[in-house]
A and B are shown apart, each in its own frame.
Chain A
């Protein structure tokens, strides 16, 4: 019996016991209903959402720091800290006015100078921020509540840049903190968001605590993702880091925690059987599975080799390895963009549709000049998603007659080795696996994986001028139709040259105790509107 089977068996037995009518109260049911105990997807190891861009940091930061705008569940930017904005007729000068009464957790008012310093730090690190900074004339505080951002050329996606939920978000910090070098970590966690960070209770790797900020003034609109009135209905939120999924499942069943952000698919069936637990899809925007090939070195510097792999790739194999037999958790993805969103397109994606033709793929591979050299495939074994994908890729490459050099390692190693540009035999690589959050793949704004500008592109360094041309066209688009057209052409160009291989679209679950209500689906856990009864 392997460890995974054992976990399922034990967790399953626990669930059966719970559904079997054991009426003894859980030990922790006497705990204060005003404290919500949450198991995050990962450890909150640092807490500077500009310096480090891990999702878990962004998720925690959304409690502590507010943003000028927030993206809503219709994927539209809405005002958040901003009361109003004006843009000049030529689109070059943006003037923003802050809402009155905004305060930081240290009691100081939020002023324009704080916003200016925060935007400056954010724009040094964020891809969209960098684009705006590159065309910036000035970014200045006009008065305490007004600031102006003047540009050399129009930037139609300004509000999206300030509202987006992709890390790093444009969180607003006090000026003294925001003046920290963007490549150095801040050590003071003062924001103006609905919760305060209890630094004295922080045990990195184990626990992070947030307390309600009494002076927070929510907007009047209904909350919608990062937009609207962020009404906190609990006084305290404890993030309990539980690295072992079976332990997290048991803690949820036992009532020791209230909400588990992302249960692994293996354990979901047993959680669903527990009458005290609700399980639902966490984020309708889901995730896109990825394996990237290195465009710099043979054989994948030849588009025929990349196409050969894509022609043989069966997304169902990948998805079943990732999510098991749950059909509702995945779908084929002949696209680079998130299904169900306005810009989704399958234009050019035929290569991923229909019956897989291994013989044709082998022929294409031979035409590329591949002569049996080892293919260095980096696989992070410590991440279930990358491990599952790596195993499928290994079989795929073998079926194509490729000579596999399967490098089973950890994510830290993959992360650093994928940055090496030298040939695979000299420390470089041919392919690695990862996944993109669907929220990052709505459009090119924060989608690093879709860029194809050579040395500046993401790992694998594709150079595809046709893709870059359409990225620019999307940024310049003024209507949704123009955006759709640009994205359609971009998708086709990306498939034509095989920028990377999408392995499918998959969803994740989230699970919570039934005495908790108000949890909404979204790309990150939203705590406003969430309440708990004893």
Chain B
């Protein structure tokens, strides 16, 4: 197993390099020039060119890529064109809010979606099932920013229970930290709750028709035990897969959520960097996200072995 994990992690390196090259090429092929943004409207073309030179943007594409790759090999993601701060420092500043948002959203999703899916499957065809699925369709259809604005209006402006925007680090206390994350997590979680509830229901429906469930019922086991101990464990593989994919998708969802709730996370950093063509920052973030994707996939594979003993690597 350990060699499998190591092989998987090592296999990520060429993948990440290819992704980085792809992103690097794409950015340089796309129109837009950070020097123009930096120079501002008052600058002359000569000023813009001098800034390009000072930033090394006039060097050939391959030289720039090689230089960046050389930095990576030395654990150096480069320096932001705009802030002159190390990319690692910028990412470090932003990782806690995004990670917090994702963790809370994921917890919320699992806690709400899995029981909903189980209950819907148990009561398949009933009004309870139809109600849950209707909510799931509704939740899946609403854009994150719409849910975000409605939540902000109700809970921040109307009731004044929670703040509209911002982020408080966990180091300043659990409640201040959580207070800023509740609304964004709900907004971001809606889609995933809907998705995972539907997948859980479908997987459970299939499992509930299996012989061993009928046997368990015949033995006189309680409904809770049948649903959550016997059936859910066997329905968990597709659910875990979707949760894993959901983690990856959360990164994308966080971009919108962080903008709506003004959370200084990686999503906003990404958008800012793309709009300004801050190449080293974009490359650093892409590299990080690629690594996260690979790790999440690895973790899903490992969780499979825990919930289904038949799966071995």
Contact = CB atoms under 8 A, between A and B. Distances in A.
How many residues of B sit at the interface, in one of the four size bands? 35 or more
A496 B127 CA distance: 75
Given A51-B38, A167-B40, A251-B262, A6 B146 contact: yes
B27 to A, nearest CB: 11
Contact of A242 (B32, B43, B90, B165): B165
B165 A256 contact: yes
A412 B259 contact: no
A368 interface: no
B153 A184 contact: no
B40 A54 contact: yes
Given A14-B153, A448-B41, A412 B277 contact: yes
A205 interface: yes
Contact of A125 (B34, B47, B149): B47
B83 A45 contact: yes
B165 A247 contact: yes
A254 B82 CA distance: 32
Contacts of A240: 165-166, 262
Interface string A196-212: 00000001111100000
A434 interface: yes
B82 A244 contact: no
B150 interface: yes
Interface string A376-418: 0000001000000000000000000000000001111101110
A59 to B, nearest CB: 13
B67 interface: no
A168 B31 CA distance: 27
B37 interface: yes
A259 B142 CA distance: 32
Contact of B164 (A54, A254, A413, A434): A254
B260 A247 contact: yes
B206 interface: no
B230 interface: no
B124 interface: no
A339 to B, nearest CB: 21
A288 to B, nearest CB: 12
Interface in A158-192: 166-168, 181, 183-185, 187
A30 to B, nearest CB: 13
A74 interface: no
Contacts of B85: 204
A250 B153 contact: yes
A315 interface: no
A411 B275 contact: yes
B38 A52 contact: yes
B126 interface: no
B264 A203 contact: yes
Contacts of A10: 149-150, 152-153
B44 interface: yes
B145 A3 contact: yes
Given A14-B153, A412-B32, A185 B84 contact: yes
A431 to B, nearest CB: 16
Contact of B157 (A25, A250, A416): A250
Contacts of A253: 157
B240 interface: no
Residue with the greatest number of chain A CB neighbours at <10 A, chosen from B51, B80, B85, B157 = B157
A213 to B, nearest CB: 23
B184 to A, nearest CB: 11
B85 to A, nearest CB: 7
Interface string B37-70: 1111111110110110110000000000000000
B33 to A, nearest CB: 4
Interface string A6-21: 1100100110011000
B83 A127 contact: no
A61 interface: no
A448 to B, nearest CB: 5
Contacts of A206: 262, 264, 268
Interface string B84-98: 110000100110000
A167 B38 CA distance: 12
B264 A207 contact: yes
Interface in B1-46: 30-34, 36-45
A58 B162 CA distance: 34
A437 to B, nearest CB: 9
A442 interface: no
Interface string A33-59: 000000000010110000111100000
A14 B158 contact: yes
Interface string B268-288: 110110011100000000000
Given A45-B272, A46-B83, A242 B262 contact: yes
B41 A53 contact: yes
B120 to A, nearest CB: 30
A46 B84 contact: yes
A386 B169 CA distance: 37
B276 A412 contact: yes
Contacts of B33: 412, 415-416, 419
14 contacts: A13-B153, A13-B157, A24-B159, A27-B163, A125-B47, A204-B83, A206-B268, A241-B262, A250-B153, A251-B166, A412-B276, A416-B33, A419-B45, A446-B42
Given A45-B276, A184-B54, A247-B165, 9 more contacts: A45-B82, A45-B272, A205-B268, A240-B166, A247-B262, A251-B164, A254-B160, A412-B276, A419-B48
Closest 3 CB pairs of A and B: A206-B264, A53-B40, A416-B33
